[in-house]
Structure 1
Amino acid sequence: MNIKQLPWKPLGALTLALAAMTPALAQQKSVAVTAIVEHPALDAVRDGVQAALKEAGFEAGKNLKWQYQSAQGNTGTAAQIARKFVGDKPDAIVAIATPSAQAVVAATKTVPVVFSAVTDPVAAKLVPSWEASGTNVTGVSDLLALDKQIELLRQVVPNAKRVGMVYNPGEANSVVVVKQLQALLPKLGMTLVEAAAPRSVDVGSAARSLIGKVDVIYTNTDNNVVSAYESLVKVGQDAKIPLVASDTDSVKRGAIAALGINYRDLGEQTGRMVVRILKGEKPGDIKPEVSTKLELYVNPGAAEKQGVKLSDELIKSAAQVVQ
């Protein structure tokens, strides 16, 4: 019996087509990103992560599946997002800010997790130490040296003795800063006056409770406070209480000054860590990192509205003067 051979050209073309598709399929990666809330600093982290991935050749819609969800300030929602992302089994989950990072780390021991904009990942129990964790978790911290923050407070308000701080007592990164300031300020002849704001809507009333009790208000990267910063600025202007921030985006929104991290740069640093994981490194082999690049932003107009005048020396030393 003669067996008629199938034409070889179409088969060859199909084989070549499949061969061409294989590398693309092999390179297809998935990154899921979640943040506790949307505000300029955290949005800048997210955009920085995406930019670093694109620079490394991982582009959404081409060879990268990119997901992003905000918990809108709700820790319950953060836990739901974490469970959904873990179920999707991406190549990496990026968790921006402490509450989201805690939710994701609680939800998985296997999917690679990269945290970002977390002040103290050890205190938040994301990693056991600042060394490579040996777990599925690593990331980039926005930890700041508080002695430099206090120095800036004194440059803005030279005679300040009472430092006010509005913060969410349920946010681990803020609790860490409060404890550090409680220990550090008395050594410098200063005291800390706290005002709790468990929700974003509480920020304005918490700030008003400090009127007459403080010489200056310092804000860390507390997500409730940053997401409602305009309400804090209103109190600062009405009561002539100077506001000094720890993130530079808040200066654009009405803080007098900030010696802080550029959160876009922090996002790009985080993104480069994600790229290492996408290329095969294990998160447990990568030590958590801290951003060491600080920038001084000042806002002379905000200073005037809040009852102080910045020195020419301070203005000249700023990386950016917000008009």
Structure 2
Amino acid sequence: MKRLLAVATVLTMTAAMLAGCGSSAQNAASTASEPAVQESVQAPAESQAAADSEAPAAQTDSDKVYRIGICQLLQHEALDAATKGFKEAMIEKLGEDNVEFDEQNASGDSATCATIINQFVSADVDLILANATASLQAAAAGTGTIPILGTSITDYATALEIDEWTGTTGKNISGTSDLAPLKEQAAMLNELFPDAKTVGLLYCSAEANSVYQANTIQEHLEGLGYTCKTYTFADSNDIASVTTNAAGECDVIYVPTDNTAASNTEVINNVCLPAGVPVIAGEEGICKGCGVATLSINYYDIGYKAGEMAVDILVNGADITTMAIESAPNVTKEYNEAICKELNITVPDDYVAIKAE
């Protein structure tokens, strides 16, 4: 009898313990689930769906580091200013810790541009800045998926061989243009040298955008009564001889926004200044080195604008295929005070002297 009572007592105590454990587990489960229930009520459906799929949390903009490949054709003042503007815009908008630049210079060689672009593609950078036409052409050939922004490009239709230009490329390419108003540049030449008869057009035949500018301004100059002669050099090796021919046959020389000329302004000036032949330049950097005057854009400004476009693409998801090519917001009549003084040229009051470095 005692044995039966002992067994009954043990069974009763065991049942009580099991009931207590079950109650505690139930309470614990209920307590643990309460915050989750609360969160599911407060959180939007998209967040809950992400949680249900166990996907990692989205990276915030402050955590993202954007990798940017910069291919600059060669080093000279205008292109340097465009690259500087681009980088400073991105750093200003994203923060210095959120953007990483791989900046490379092709030293004027188109084949090197292609090599640089291939490196960027292999590294799978987030965006490519192509500074100057040869860089843009290499980038366009190198990738059809990575966003490409050009800057210091005179005419995108010419550079990319687009027949029907609408203002957008329809490709993974957009950017900013350095095209100055050529009709107004022709008018400026006429304002300063109304008695000149022959204008020499001096540029690099290997630069498609220089060809475009020379052909366009020739029409405007001929409309003003000038006779135009073309003088082209293939590279820097024959600039001196070609410039000497031009200076011997022309009253005024016009040099467009030409990268090879921009890198060799001292050579041009050493020919034209002693010959007493003035040079009208397509942009400020060339004018500073060998010109008397220019109607110029600001290359820092177009680089900065390209940087803003990059942020819009990377952060805001803007569709680069429909992004219009942007132009410089302002142009300025500028003159080279030292060369004008040397050639006894007086400019009107609305010209601004180029600042000496």
TM-score by length of 2: 0.79
Asked whether the 8 Å contact 2:214–2:256 carries over to 1, the reply is no
Which range is displaced more, 94-103 or 124-133? 124-133
* Structure 2 residue 102 is matched with structure 1 residue 27: no
Secondary structure of 1:238's aligned partner: helix
User: Of 191, 196, 204, which aligns to 1:168?
Assistant: 204
* Structure 2 residue 256 is matched with structure 1 residue 223: no
Supply the AA of the counterpart residue of 1:175: V
User: Per-residue displacement from partner, 1:79-119 (whole Å, max 9, x unpaired)?
Assistant: 11111112211111000111111111111110100011111
User: Per-residue displacement from partner, 1:263-301 (whole Å, max 9, x unpaired)?
Assistant: 111111111111111112121121111213101221232
Deviation of residue 126 (structure 1)?
A: 6.2
Larger RCO, structure (CA 8 Å, separation 6 or more): 1
Q: Take 1:310 and 1:112, find their aligned partners in 2: how far apart are those partners?
A: 47
The corresponding residue for 1:257 is 293
* Two-structure CA RMSD over aligned residues (Å): 2.1
Secondary structure of 1:253's aligned partner: helix
The corresponding residue for 2:34 is none
Identify the structure with the greater helix proportion: 2
Secondary structure of 1:147's aligned partner: helix
Q: Take 1:172 and 1:220, find their aligned partners in 2: how far apart are those partners?
A: 12
Which range is displaced more, 229-238 or 152-161? 152-161
The corresponding residue for 2:271 is 235
The corresponding residue for 2:353 is 320
Secondary structure of 1:27's aligned partner: coil
- The 5 A counterparts of 1:155-234 are 155-234=191-270
User: Of 326, 330, 338, which aligns to 1:289?
Assistant: 326
Q: Which one has the largest radius of gyration?
A: 2
Supply the AA of the counterpart residue of 2:270: K
Identity across matched positions, percent: 31
Asked whether the 8 Å contact 1:105–1:126 carries over to 2, the reply is no
Deviation of residue 224 (structure 1)?
A: 0.6
The corresponding residue for 1:81 is 116
What residue ranges of structure 1 are gaps of 5+ in the alignment?
Answer: 1-18
Secondary structure of 1:196's aligned partner: strand
Q: Take 1:146 and 1:24, find their aligned partners in 2: how far apart are those partners?
A: 42
Asked whether the 8 Å contact 1:157–1:308 carries over to 2, the reply is no
Asked whether the 8 Å contact 2:186–2:217 carries over to 1, the reply is no
Asked whether the 8 Å contact 1:165–1:219 carries over to 2, the reply is yes
Which range is displaced more, 215-224 or 150-159? 150-159
User: Per-residue displacement from partner, 1:38-69 (whole Å, max 9, x unpaired)?
Assistant: 1000000000001111110242xx22110111
In structure 2, the CA distance between the partners of 1:277 and 1:49, relative to structure 1 (3 Å rule), is same
The corresponding residue for 1:16 is none
Asked whether the 8 Å contact 1:126–1:137 carries over to 2, the reply is no
Asked whether the 8 Å contact 2:266–2:289 carries over to 1, the reply is yes
In structure 2, the CA distance between the partners of 1:126 and 1:267, relative to structure 1 (3 Å rule), is farther
Q: Take 1:91 and 1:129, find their aligned partners in 2: how far apart are those partners?
A: 27
Asked whether the 8 Å contact 1:174–1:220 carries over to 2, the reply is yes
What residue ranges of structure 2 are gaps of 5+ in the alignment?
Answer: 1-55
Secondary structure of 2:246's aligned partner: coil
User: Of 86, 95, 113, which aligns to 1:49?
Assistant: 86
* Structure 2 residue 120 is matched with structure 1 residue 112: no
